[in-house]
Amino acid sequence: MLMSVFHNWLLEIACENYFVYIKRLSANDTGATGGHQVGLYIPSGIVEKLFPSINHTRELNPSVFLTAHVSSHDCPDSEARAIYYNSRHFGKTRNEKRITRWGRGSPLQDPENTGALTLLAFKLDEQGGDCKEVNIWVCASTDEEDVIETAIGEVIPGALISGPAGQILGGLSLQQAPVNHKYILPEDWHLRFPSGSEIIQYAASHYVKNSLDPDEQLLDRRRVEYDIF
């Protein structure tokens, strides 16, 4: 059931006007280092697109607020703050952008989630103004991570993936047709849940065989396994 909720969430994000930012949470993101710079790091180019009003040095540390909703965990919405720490232009050293104030109990600032694959979906302003809301999913299992990585490829620690949701999340795992009801499942599977190896063996007889591309075969096999599961 949870995987279905996650998959539907991804489909909704992919089909609407969102800009997605995907990464594995670092120790500095979650506060695991105990440092004072806790908050999600945002590359300058993304800030320019999502929060154009703070991308300047006319004042010290310009910022803007946005509503942060976490769909993956049960926690209240918060008023997050996108801020440009620009003190380098005022005689000090700092020059970076972050989103802070995620709220008490946010999975983004739980040290236990260091390394977790995380997707932030920023709702784009139709007139090109500042983003006013962000929808968040912090993966809690390798199964959830597999769904994303099937669509976009492996996300290693330190890698940052971003862009229009429809382009980034337009991979095979998000374009699956409804479950193929022509699958005739073995009778005893209605009485007991099959093992992973049984599902893999059964799926092997249903995925595409007329392609010589091993990557295409692998992706189609994973699609069939997911449908059957």
Per-residue pLDDT of the chain (229 residues; tens, 9 = 90+): 456 788 889 988 988 999 999 999 998 888 887 765 566 777 888 888 899 999 999 999 999 999 999 999 999 999 999 999 999 999 999 998 888 888 888 999 899 999 999 999 999 999 999 999 999 999 999 989 988 888 788 899 999 999 999 888 876 344 443 444 456 777 777 777 777 777 777 776 666 555 555 665 666 666 666 666 6
Distance from CA of residue 8 to its chain's centroid?
13
Query: How far is 41 from 108, CA to CA, in rounded Å?
Result: 12
Q: How far is CA 117 from CA 97, 155, 161, 183, 190, in A?
A: 20, 8, 11, 32, 34
Domain with CATH 2.40.330.10 in the chain: 2-170
Pairing assessment for the beta strands 133-138 and 63-70 based on DSSP bridges: parallel
Q: Reply yes or no on domain 2-170 having CATH 2.40.330.10.
A: yes
Read off the pTM.
Answer: 0.71
Q: Looking at this protein, which amino acid is placed at residue 128?
A: G
